[in-house]
Amino acid sequence: MTRRRLPATLAAGNHPQGGSEGGPGPSGRARGPRLWTGAGARPRSGTPFAPWCETMDRRILIADDDTCVRQGAAELLVGTGLTVVEAGDGEEAMVVVERAFDAGEPLHLVLADVHMPPPQQPNDLGLEPGDGGLALFSLLQGQRPELPCILWSGAASEGVASWALDKGARAFLRKPVQPLELRQEVQRVLDEVWGRAS
């Protein structure tokens, strides 16, 4: 199968949905989380908790309800040698995080879109229903404070960005994100929190 070319930028919104090897679900998103491993590897549908490639020691989660953007970012980052798991909303992201930690294969970074469906767990932030990335970030700060988060958005206000950074987000990126900027920010955060990979 021919791999599609990466877009020049990882744009925000209004992209065709679907495209997963596992097929789209009822919402048009891919069914279930997908695992990508190693430079040039094809994505595998199904559980993200298969044995990790031995050469990978950095595992990140990309949570975004825009399939095109999410998969484009996964392709870009897996090409740098990272292991990438995808989630299509805040609830799926929380499930992925907890299962990964329970399986003894904890994640090293979460990259989350601000505007997506939220986790089911209640929050007391008074957020809008579509601000699922902020709800996910808040829950992770409370339950997994050691897990760094990068938030990104094409529409969030400066106030939202400032709030997230003040609460501990490691970066706040504006879509469309240039591929080089995304790679550099992900690498910077991983190096700052976990040290350079061996």
**All domains in the chain, ordered by first residue:** 35-44+54-193 (3.40.50.2300)
Q: What was the pLDDT predicted at 121?
A: 76
For residue 122, what pLDDT is reported?
Answer: 64
Report the pLDDT value the prediction gives residue 27, as an integer from 0 to 100: 41
Write down the pLDDT at residue 196: 84
Nearest one of 175, 149, 187, 171 to 66, comparing CA atoms: 175
- Torsional sign, CA 21, 22, 23, 24: negative
Helix (H) or strand (E) holding 84, with range, is strand 83-87
Q: Residue 128: helix, strand or coil by DSSP?
A: coil
* pLDDT above 50: residue 43: no
| Region 9-25 average pLDDT | 40
**Does residue 111 or residue 14 have the better pLDDT?**
111
pLDDT, one tens digit per residue, over 140-164 is 999 999 999 999 999 888 999 999 9
Average pLDDT over residues 85-97: 96
Q: Where are the beta strands (DSSP E) in 118-170?
A: 149-153
197 vs 56: CA distance, rounded Å: 9
Check whether 3 has a pLDDT greater than 60.
Answer: no
pTM score of the predicted model: 0.75
Higher pLDDT, 67 or 5: 67
pLDDT at position 57, please?
80
Share of the chain above pLDDT 90, in %: 59
Question: How confident is the prediction for the chain on average, in pLDDT?
Answer: 77
CB of 16 within 8 A of CB of 10? no
